[in-house]
Amino acid sequence: MTPNQTGALLMTAAMAAYTFNDALIKLTGGALPLPQILTIRGLAASFLIYFLARRMGGFRLRLPGRAWGMIGLRGAAEVAATYLFLTALMVMPIANVTAVLQVLPLAVTLSAALFLREPVGWRRLAAIAAGFTGMLLIVRPGPDGFTDGSLYALAAVACITARDLVTRRMPPEVPSMTVTLASSLSVLVFGLASSAAVEWQPMGSFEWLALMGAALFIFAGYLCSVMTMRMGEIAAIAPFRYSGLVWALILGWLVFGEWPDLLTIAGAAIVAGAGMFTLYRERRQARKLRA
């Protein structure tokens, strides 16, 4: 297999792992409060990420103060995004929430142009406008506005966009594994702190297995993501992140008996198409700059 083919398989595996994590969390959401879920999954996931960071030599504590400030800011965005996304996941079909999140690359590109002054041509701006139109087909605000689930999902996209913008400005000497572990620990601390306001529920074998499985899938997703970045051309591999929508459609149908209507599918197709066109244009622009 070529490096690009291997990278595409790893990206598809990463998206599958993240979507299986979402499905397991959704299955436990009716029985357990969210802070309990975040705490238990966070403990297991943080341990696994720490183990991976030590094995890969990507764990450093001696960093400049500015770097720790940006790590803290990114951690806060990660906490907000996790809470908002999982809250939306509890009240929306998994495919719909996943479809809304597919607008993320477009949101990051637009925000980078607005706040980081990164150049964006009219073709990519047109693709971004088309992608946001597709997103509106998915959430479909009615006469009374957006539903609560849609608002949580859109707010999650905004927080993830902020997180990714902070990541772009992160000093190059900061190891990615250190950043990931700090973000995982931030979510864990939030889960522990917010647990004071809720009553933990007793857990049976199914809940324990589901949360441990979710932690393993989060870990597997990150491991595949790290391996993906070391394989082939990122621009050629990145479009396979949209395979997460396929996994969400399959799991939504098999596990939850959910299947989105035609408008939602059309909106998701528009978002995915606009995202892939944006990636294609960014790849062409990068080649021109290297020439």
Range of weakest confidence among 12-26, 42-56, 187-201:
42-56
C-alpha–C-alpha distance, residues 249 and 261, integer Å: 11
* Highest-confidence segment of 54-58, 190-194, 227-231: 190-194
Q: What value does the CA radius of gyration of the chain take, rounded to a whole number of Å?
A: 19
Residue 219 lies in domain? 3-290
Does the pLDDT value for residue 234 go beyond 70? Answer: no
Enter the DSSP assignment of 259. Answer: -
Q: Which of 14, 11, 36, 13 is nearest to 25 (CA)?
A: 36
Per-residue pLDDT band at 287 (split at 50, 70, 90): low
SS3 145: strand
pLDDT at 213 over 60: yes
Cα separation, 271 vs 12, in Å, equals 18
Single pTM value for the model: 0.86
Query: How does pLDDT run across 76-132, given as a tens digit for each residue?
Result: 999 999 999 999 999 999 999 998 988 888 888 788 788 777 777 788 888 888 888
Give the span between the Cα atoms of 177 and 203, in whole angstroms: 31
For position 35, what pLDDT does the model report? 94
Cα–Cα distance, 246 to 248 (Å, whole number): 5
Query: What is the pLDDT confidence band of residue 229, given thresholds at 50, 70 and 90?
Result: low
Domain count along the chain:
1
pLDDT of 119: 78
Crossing angle of helices 94-101 and 3-28, rounded to 10° = 130
Residue 31 tokens, joined: 């029985």
CA distances from 253 to 13, 20, 90, 238, 256 (A): 19, 13, 16, 26, 6
138 and 271 in contact (C-beta within 8 Å)? yes
Q: Token pair of 191, please?
A: 């889960």
Q: Using a pLDDT cut of 90, give the percent of the chain over it.
A: 41
Instruction: Calculate mean pLDDT across residues 44-73.
Output: 86
